[in-house]
Amino acid sequence: MKAAFDVAIVGAGPAGISAACILADAGVKTIVFERGEYPGAKNLSGAVLYGYDLARILPDFAERKCPIERNIIESRIWYLSRDSGFSVGYRDAALGTERKHNAFTVLRAKFDRWYAEQAQKKGALVVPATVVVDLLRDSRGAVTGVATGRAEGEVRARITLLADGVNSPLAVRTGFRLEPKPEQVALAVKELIDLPAAVIEQRFGVSGIDGVTAEIMGGVTGGMDGVAALYTNRNSLSLSVGANLADFAATKIKPYELIEEFKQHPMVAPLISGGKSLEYIAHWLAEGGYDAIPRLCGDGYLIAGDSAMLFNALHREGNNLAMASGRMAAETIIEALGRDDCSRKALSRYGERLAESYVLKDMKKYRRFGRFMHHHKELFNEMPRAASFAAREMLTVNGVGKKQKQKLIMQNFRGEKMSIFRLARLLWQGWRAVK
């Protein structure tokens, strides 16, 4: 096979398929390669998706029977110690009515498959079970297509879009992106817990298609810089926990033991009680932030989504950045093909589009956030312990006066090697990292 296409896309995830939809709509001859048995077979996220960016590509996604699990009307944030925890949440009826589909949960194996089908309906060719092992180049080094793992599997294309995810040996092999360092990714493991819809609705206080998310931080990652999450699906709960890979290496904590311990936490156990695990999977999160973003395009190629390290760790946003970047890549490609100019210069409009959009603006805003979290391990150790001690003391009625309790709390605070100065520095640096 030495067929020629206008555009070859590596990876049928949110970035690649978003681009394929836009390109196919414009009549651009597009082929998408997916290494999994089907689109979504290798993909993992929490998984919360955002309607805004999806609607920019498929305005009628709901009518197209998008496999939505639950529409999120409440977001909780938990700050846990090993055996206790604080919870705040925001529930808003408007998120179920006029702002419906702002955020909803999906199962990626179902969603990505459906999404790829929409691109196919528009005319893009999606080829699963095919690994792209290398890129074709001309004598000047411009990318002219892809080489697949199949016999005679070279496919020429005028432009190639790399949307092959955060773990991309291809990007590394071609030098278009450096191999991430362990501290630039988080390793997350996820389990899907089977529970009847009625049980989920009762435990989370929702009905119909409404759902709840909980983002979880503190003493549930074994002192490592990490987060956990608990999301409601229709008939299951998504449970994930992840931490910086460098921290995993340093602590020798085993990921499968970490998630098992998390499942036994008193805030989590009652919610998943009686549920059976259906799946256990693992993936990286691109946590390198703004400074880890590679050059976004060159002669004949562009990079989008996780492969370009586009991920906002603070706001659990990744799929939407993938969709937005895929869309902007496609818009740039359409212009370039129209002018018959596939050079780096012509494609650099892609980087400008991203810079003008919320994608790079948000990543720039939070560029210090990753380093802040990584260098303030007290957020995962001393702080949740001290905060829990204080709450437990204040809530225990045992004849000890409150002034005395305050003293005990301060003593404990100092025992954790915390001080007002250290706390102030934490708050100040935290503010600087997100302001």
Binding residues for other proteins, per CB under 8 A?
Answer: 35-38, 40-45, 47, 107-112, 128-131, 148-150, 167, 169, 179-182, 185, 187, 189, 191-192, 236, 245-246, 248-249, 252-257, 260-261, 277-284
Minimum separation from the CB atom of position 179 to other proteins (A): 6
Minimum separation from the CB atom of position 14 to other proteins (A): 12
Minimum separation from the CB atom of position 27 to other proteins (A): 28
Between 53 and 247, name the residue whose CB sits nearer to other proteins.
247
Distance of CA 18 to the CA centre of its chain: 16
Q: For the chain, how big is the Rg over CA atoms in Å?
A: 23
* Cβ neighbours around 203 below 10 Å, total: 16
Minimum separation from the CB atom of position 122 to other proteins (A): 23
- Strands (DSSP E) along 165-290, which ranges? 185-194, 210-218, 226-232, 236-244, 276-286
Between 69 and 378, name the residue whose CB sits nearer to other proteins.
69
What gap in Å lies between CA 68 and CA 329, rounded to an integer?
Answer: 26
What are 125's strand-pairing partners? 31
Between 14 and 96, name the residue whose CB sits nearer to other proteins.
14
Between 42 and 385, name the residue whose CB sits nearer to other proteins.
42
What gap in Å lies between CA 101 and CA 85, rounded to an integer?
Answer: 30
301 Cβ contact partners less than 8 Å away, ≥ 6 residues apart = 135, 143, 159, 160, 161, 162, 176, 347
Minimum separation from the CB atom of position 275 to other proteins (A): 13
Minimum separation from the CB atom of position 195 to other proteins (A): 13
Tokens 């503010």 belong to which residue? 431
Between 107 and 116, name the residue whose CB sits nearer to other proteins.
107
Minimum separation from the CB atom of position 180 to other proteins (A): 6
Between 280 and 431, name the residue whose CB sits nearer to other proteins.
280
Between 50 and 389, name the residue whose CB sits nearer to other proteins.
50
Between 254 and 432, name the residue whose CB sits nearer to other proteins.
254
CA-nearest of 366, 351, 194 to 286 is 366
CA-nearest of 248, 211, 279 to 43 is 279
Minimum separation from the CB atom of position 151 to other proteins (A): 12
* Cβ neighbours around 352 below 10 Å, total: 13
Helices (H), 205-317: 245-251, 255-263, 269-272
How is 263-279 classified by DSSP, letter by letter? HTSTTTHHHHTT-EEEE
